[in-house]
Structures are given as C-alpha cells and as structure tokens.
Amino acid sequence: RASLGAPPMFLSARGLTASLGVLLPVLTVARGVPQAVRVYKVDAEGVSRSTWLLVIAVAELWTAYGFVFRVPAQIAANVPSALLAGLIVYRVARAERATARSLASAAALTAGAAAVMTASLATHAGWVLSVPAVLGSLFLYLPQLAKVLREEHLVGVSLTTWLLALLTAVGWGAYGLLIHQLPVWVPCTVTIPSSFVIVVRLLRPRLMRHTICQERLRGRTGGALRGATGCESEKKGGGL
C-alpha cells in the first residue's frame, strides 16, 4: 500500500512545510509585539532605531518577493511586521528626539524598496529583488547586536521579542531549505547567531539580579528590608 502513494518522508516534509508556512507569519508578526508594548509602557532605552528601520525596509522587500515568487507566507508575515516596526521606530525616535530624521529615513528606505520592486518587475530579473532582500536581512539584527554589546542600560529591549526572533530565524531557515529558496534561508546564517547573542546578553543581567535577590531574601548579603527592595527592583525590571 505504501508504494501506491508518496513516500512517508515526502509526506512528512510536505506537512512540515505547510505547517511552517502557517506558523512563521504568526511568529514573525508576534516578534514585534512585546517590543512595541515595552517601548510604550516601560522605556525605549537600549532599543536600536536602525534595526527597526531595517525591519521596515526588509519587510517591504520580502512582501514584494512574496508576490513575485508566489511565497504567500512572506506576504502574510511582512505586511503587519512593517506596521509594528513603524510604531517602534516612532516611539524610539521620540525618546531620542530624532523623529524628523527617522521619518525621513523610513521614507527613503520605502522609496528604495519600491524602486527595487519596480526594477525587478520591469526587467523580469528576480535577482534584482532577491539580492537586496537577502543583504538587508543579513544586516537586520546587527545594529541591535552592536548596541547590546556596547551599552549597559538596556531596559527598553524586550527579551521576549528576541527569543521570538531567534525562534523565527530558525523556522525561516528550515522553511527556506524545505522550499529550496536560497534567499529565504541564507539570511538565517547571520540572524540566528545574532539573535542568540542578543538573548544571552539580555539574560545575563536578569539572571544576576535574580541570584542577588534570592541571596538577599535568604539573608546572605543583607537584611530583610533590603532584600525586599531588591526583589521589588527585580520585579519592576522584568516583564516583556
């Protein structure tokens, strides 16, 4: 009976591809939600405006790529992602008093993405669109990576967002391999290690604060009052 149909391995790969095609757009959009919530409710300190400007431009390129190469997962993922990234850029720009400059940068990147898409359609050359999309994706997380490695105050950076970014990068890498789309999986060779390092950098101070808090609560390094204060600070610093 098995010989009459497709091999089980093929069915499994096809099922995984279909599942990822549904799941990855959801994860890609969800990635930006905790960061958007955090910059509006907590602070924007430590958040890289450049990374989220790149997210806007790259999302526009991948949306065009999805239309041209018929990859609907890219369209579903990147339209709402660009909108969320725009909200984040606006809030970070206001905090840095750079709203006009950020709006100009976003407009220029959008115009560039539109020009690339037009050139690709006019010349029927897919590489005109895929090369900028891949290059943009390769550099996507590097500004935030540089910022977390250089700066100490990162209260505005959402750990949840970067955990989702890591998971999403792994998923897009697998999806690109399954559908044999080199431009989809190649950027993940950079975004996976970049997001992993960001996650580790964000986790380290949280784990240190948690350890100190627990030691204070046990009376190892201070009294009960100071211990309670430390734990309150830990709670305030947590969240998204």
CB neighbours of residue 20 within 10 Å? 19
- In percent, the amount of the chain with pLDDT more than 70 equals 86
The pLDDT value recorded for residue 125 is 82
List, for residues 182-234, the tens digit of each pLDDT value.
888 999 999 999 999 999 999 988 777 767 777 777 775 554 444 444 455 44
In the block, residue with structure tokens 């725009």: 86
What are the tokens at 48? 């890289």
Q: What's the whole-number mean pLDDT along residues 16-27?
A: 88
Closest C-alpha to 113, from 53, 157, 39: 53
List, for residues 73-94, the tens digit of each pLDDT value.
788 888 999 999 999 999 999 9
- What gap in Å lies between CA 203 and CA 200, rounded to an integer? 5
Alpha helices in 124-140 (DSSP H): 127-138
Model confidence band, residue 238 (pLDDT cutoffs 50, 70, 90): low
**Residue type present at position 77:** A
CB neighbours of residue 168 within 10 Å? 25
- What pTM did the predictor assign? 0.80
Alpha helices in 71-223 (DSSP H): 72-95, 99-123, 127-138, 142-150, 159-178, 182-185, 188-217
The pLDDT value recorded for residue 237 is 52
The pLDDT value recorded for residue 7 is 57
Among 60-74, 85-99, 133-147, 186-200, name the one with the lowest average pLDDT.
60-74
Q: What is the DSSP letter of 90?
A: H
- What gap in Å lies between CA 126 and CA 69, rounded to an integer? 8
Closest C-alpha to 82, from 104, 103, 57: 57
CB 197 within 8 A of CB 142: no
Mean pLDDT, the chain, integer? 85
The pLDDT value recorded for residue 224 is 47
- What gap in Å lies between CA 209 and CA 72, rounded to an integer? 43
Among 116-130, 142-156, 170-184, name the one with the lowest average pLDDT.
116-130
Model confidence band, residue 129 (pLDDT cutoffs 50, 70, 90): confident
